[in-house]
Amino acid sequence: MTTQNAINWPEKYLPGTGDNFVSNEVVVRGVTAAQVWRLLTDTSTWESYYDNVADISFPGGGGPVLADGRDFRFGTFGFPPLAARVVEFAAPAAGTPGRLSWTARQDGGPDERLDVLHAWLVEDLDGGRVRVLTQESQIGRPAAELAGQVPNPMLNGHQAWLDGLLRAAAR
C-alpha cells in the first residue's frame, strides 16, 4: 500500500469550510522535483509558462525567488494585485516533498474581500516520476462567485498553471 503526502492546512483554510476549494494534481515521468521547484519558486519565470499571472512585485524587497515569510504581490483572475505572504517553504529532498504555501488577500468592502491559501506539494516518486499537487482554499464573496461558475475558472486556471509548469520543467 502506498500513502501520499498531503497539504498542511491551517484550520482557517481547511478544505470544505470556505467558499471555494480547488485541487489539481499531475504525476508524470521525465522531470524531477528539483526542476519543478526551481521554476515554481522563481516568480520571474511564472509569466513564461502561465498566462494568468501579472504584475508580480516584492514591496518589501527580496525576490524574485520566494522564501519563507517573503511578502509579494501579483495579479491573477482579473483581480487587482493581491497582497501575498509565503507561509510554508521547504525545498524537496530525498524522501521529503517540497512544500510551498502562501496566503493572498484582497481588502475592501464585503463584496470585494478575498482571503486564500494556495499550497503546492512537489515530490519525486519511484520509477522516475514526479507528483505535483496544488490546492487552494478561498474565503469571500468573489470566491463564492467563482465556485458557482461551471466549469470553475479557478480549477481550470490552476490546471493551466500546473500543465505549463511541467512543460517548462521538461524543456
80 burial (CB, 10 Å; 0-12 / 13-18 / 19+) is exposed
Q: Give domain status of residue 109, yes or no.
A: yes
Q: Give domain status of residue 142, yes or no.
A: yes
Predicted local confidence at residue 2, as pLDDT: 65
End-to-end CA distance of the chain: 33
Report which secondary-structure segment, H or E, holds 13.
none
Predicted local confidence at residue 108, as pLDDT: 84
Residues 137-168: tens digit of each pLDDT: 999 999 999 999 999 999 999 999 999 999 99
Question: DSSP letters along 103-149, please?
Answer: EEEE-SSTTT-EEEEEEEEEEEETTTEEEEEEEEEEESHHHHHHHTS
Residues 89-145: tens digit of each pLDDT: 999 999 999 999 999 999 888 889 999 999 999 999 999 999 999 999 999 999 999
CATH number of the domain bearing residue 41: 3.30.530.20
Average pLDDT over residues 70-83: 93
Residues 13-46: tens digit of each pLDDT: 999 999 999 999 999 999 999 999 999 999 999 9
Q: Give domain status of residue 9, yes or no.
A: no
Judged against a pLDDT cut of 70, whether residue 1 lies above it is answered with no
Q: Give domain status of residue 32, yes or no.
A: yes
Beta bridge partners of 89: 100
Q: Which residue range forms the structural domain that includes residue 91?
A: 17-170
